[in-house]
Chain A
Amino acid sequence: MTVISDMFIVFLLLAGAFFSLIAAFGVIRFPDVYTRNHAASKSATLGVMCILLATFLYFLVEDGFFNSRLLLGIAFFFITAPVAGHLISRAAYNSGVKMWDKSVRDDLKDKK
C-alpha cells in the first residue's frame, strides 16, 4: 500500500518539477511576450499543482494529516494563475508590444 502511494507521490513530484522546468525553458526560448506568457502560465500552473498535490498526499499517507490548506492552495492557484497571465498579456497588447514577425493572425487589430 505504501509502496504504491510512494511511487504515486514520487511520480507527481517529478512531473511537477519537470513541468516547471519546461516552463522555464519556454520563457527563455520563445520569441515574444505572448508565447512566453503562454508557456509560463500554463506549464508552471500544472507543475505547481502537481507538487502541491504530492505534498498533500505525502502528509495524508505518512502522518494521516489532512491538510486542507494545500487543497485550498491548489484551487486558488488554478483560479488565479491563468487570470494573471491574461492580465499580463492584455497589458502588453494595450501598451503596444509587437508580436513575433511570423505571427499571422491578430483578431484585436481592428477593435480600436
Chain B
Amino acid sequence: MKTNDVIFQTIAKVVFFMIIFFAVHLFFAGHYHPGGGFVGGLLTSGAIVLLMLAFDMKTIKKGFLIDFKWLISLGLLFSAGTAAGSLIFNVPFFTHAYDYFQLPLFGKTSLHTAMLFDLGVYLVVIGVTMTIIQTIGESE
C-alpha cells in the first residue's frame, strides 16, 4: 500500500515553528526563569528531528545548508571567546560583565556576557545532537 504522509507533514510544518519559538523563548528566559542554552538547544534540535521524521533527510539537508559539525566549533569558539575576553580587561578568566541598556523596542534591558556563553552552549548542543542523529540515520 502506498503510504501518504500529508497529515503528518502538514502538522509537522506548523508545529515546527511553535517548537522553535518556544526554544528561543527558553533560551532567552534562561537568566531569570527555568531554561537556558542546553534545553533551548535540545528543543531546537528536537524540532529539526521532527521535520526529518516527516520528510526525508535529503530535503532537510537542502533546507539547512550548514554542516552541523561547524556549529560545534562555532559554539566552542563563542564560549571560549567569552571566557577569554575578560583577560583583555585585566580581570580573572571567566569574569562576566553586565549593564542596563535602553533598547528601542524592548525598553530597559540588562545585557549580560553570560548570554554569549549560553549562545555557545546552545550552538554546541544543536551541533552535537544533530550530528549524532544524522550519523546514525544515514548508516545503512
Contacts and interface: CB of A to CB of B under 8 A. Distances in A.
Given A72-B18, A72-B22, A112 B11 contact: no
A10 interface: no
Interface in B1-31: 1, 3, 7-8, 11, 14-15, 18, 22
Contacts of B8: 83, 86-87
A94 interface: yes
A33 B7 CA distance: 21
Interface of B: 1, 3, 7-8, 11, 14-15, 18, 22
A79 B22 contact: no
A108 B7 CA distance: 17
Contacts of B14: 79
Contact of A76 (B1, B7, B15): B15
A108 B4 CA distance: 13
Interface in A40-92: 69, 72, 75-76, 79-80, 83, 86-87
Range of interface residues on A (Cβ < 8 Å): 10 to 19
Given A72-B22, A86-B7, A87-B8, A80 B15 contact: yes
Given A72-B18, A72-B22, A80 B11 contact: yes
A111 interface: yes
A79 B11 contact: yes
Contacts of A79: 11, 14-15
A56 B11 CA distance: 25
A111 to B, nearest CB: 7
A108 B3 CA distance: 12
B3 A76 contact: no
A43 B8 CA distance: 21
Contacts of A112: 1
A94 B1 contact: yes
Given A94-B3, A111-B1, A112-B1, A83 B18 contact: no
Contact of B18 (A76, A86, A111): A76
